[in-house]
Copies of this chain bind each other. A is one copy, B any other.
């Protein structure tokens, strides 16, 4: 199958490519891949573990190998030997110039960037270019995954976002102030009939207009925001307190990271949307809102070694306050990258099984899953297994 990556030279994208190729060559194991668990036996028939990669970018390096090497120098997140072993495959992945429309001032931190809008294109022209780029790569078994940096919260417009007709009018009228890069990518993918996954907190396909398009075109899509670190732990752990009827009175989540994403987030406007997507989580799981702090700060020496410090203040029997602390010390891209392959496979499976619209059963992979209130990681996993089992049995 094929995967088209928005943000193709980012650390998550390149790590996914490297892993995919290294596994094919048998030089690394399938650890980290949800889709390779025994529960998902048979998926191989619908979405074989063999990938071809393409994508859009705004940092115009020579190819994915150059990007991967750059990330590796900063992070040493796997053995150098692996990088060299897949050099050829990655060199053949050359991204197309993309859009960063209304992606905030944070993206300036990415260094020298080039975008379609810099060429003076209108919305309609940008969309056309994106579609042409994707079409030149895609086949029937292609999935589009957005792993670009977080955009600021877009300015919601009922007129332009509320219906497909309105959205297309926005394009025609070139109302750039209401569009954002992730919307345009999602629009293009869904229009082309390609499943779309929104791995970032950006709005992507989550506006009514694009949900309508997905339904209309019978395409499955999923999002938002890959659940890869502190939120994964939070949504695993908070239920424990709920099951035992202990009250969480405060939850501090303090995240530090030093990668491109961290640079982008450190620009205040982009930060807002990341912090928001985390805050709702506890309330949804617990039914009440403990006092909570969720902060993300840039810490350059960590590079992609995103570290989370959490403190949970909870009340037990007889009103006693007690404490729980955890430290999550992991490499974000290492946790995220295999999920890109997993999600792409599950979306292709869904498409082949005739699933259309939001695949809420993929909530397991997302911090802010669309159209579902299932936030508990355990329940999400059960839902995913059950969904797969049932669909697979269908003819």
Chain A residues in contact with chain B, CB under 8 A?
15, 18-19, 22, 28-34, 36-37, 76-80, 82, 232-233, 236-237, 239-240, 243-247, 249-250, 252, 254, 256, 291, 293, 295, 297, 299-302, 307, 309, 311, 313, 315-331, 334-335, 337-338, 364, 376-379, 381-382
A242's nearest neighbour on chain B, judged by CB, is B37
For the complex, give the distance between the alpha carbons of A327 and B239 in Å.
18
Known: A236-B239, A377-B240. A245 touches B37 (CB 8 A): yes
Question: Across the interface, do B321 and A301 meet the contact criterion of CB distance under 8 Å?
Answer: yes
For the complex, give the distance between the alpha carbons of A245 and B78 in Å.
17
Distance from A158 Cβ to chain B, minimum over Cβ atoms (Å): 34
Question: Across the interface, do B297 and A291 meet the contact criterion of CB distance under 8 Å?
Answer: no
Give the interface centre of A28, A233, A297, A311 by most chain B CB atoms within 10 Å. Answer: A311
Question: Across the interface, do B335 and A329 meet the contact criterion of CB distance under 8 Å?
Answer: no
For the complex, give the distance between the alpha carbons of A295 and B327 in Å.
18
Question: Across the interface, do A301 and B18 meet the contact criterion of CB distance under 8 Å?
Answer: no
Interfacial chain B residues near A37, Cβ < 8 Å: 243, 245
For the complex, give the distance between the alpha carbons of A294 and B381 in Å.
28
Minimum-distance CB pairs A-B, first 10:
A32-B317, A378-B378, A78-B318, A322-B330, A323-B329, A326-B326, A236-B240, A249-B301, A325-B327, A320-B334
Known: A300-B250, A301-B313, A313-B302. A22 touches B243 (CB 8 A): no
Number of this chain's copies in the assembly equals: 4
Question: Across the interface, do A299 and B309 meet the contact criterion of CB distance under 8 Å?
Answer: no
A32's nearest neighbour on chain B, judged by CB, is B317
A-B contact pairs, 23 of them (CB 8 A): A28-B319, A29-B319, A30-B245, A32-B246, A32-B316, A34-B243, A82-B318, A232-B244, A233-B237, A233-B324, A239-B378, A243-B381, A245-B338, A293-B297, A295-B297, A301-B313, A307-B311, A309-B311, A316-B331, A318-B337, A322-B331, A325-B327, A325-B329
Interfacial chain B residues near A243, Cβ < 8 Å: 34, 37, 364, 377-378, 381
Give the interface centre of A245, A321, A327 by most chain B CB atoms within 10 Å. Answer: A245
A18's nearest neighbour on chain B, judged by CB, is B318
Distance from A311 Cβ to chain B, minimum over Cβ atoms (Å): 7
Question: Across the interface, do B319 and A250 meet the contact criterion of CB distance under 8 Å?
Answer: no
Distance from A82 Cβ to chain B, minimum over Cβ atoms (Å): 6
For the complex, give the distance between the alpha carbons of A278 and B38 in Å.
26
Distance from A302 Cβ to chain B, minimum over Cβ atoms (Å): 7
For the complex, give the distance between the alpha carbons of A296 and B318 in Å.
26
For the complex, give the distance between the alpha carbons of A382 and B15 in Å.
37
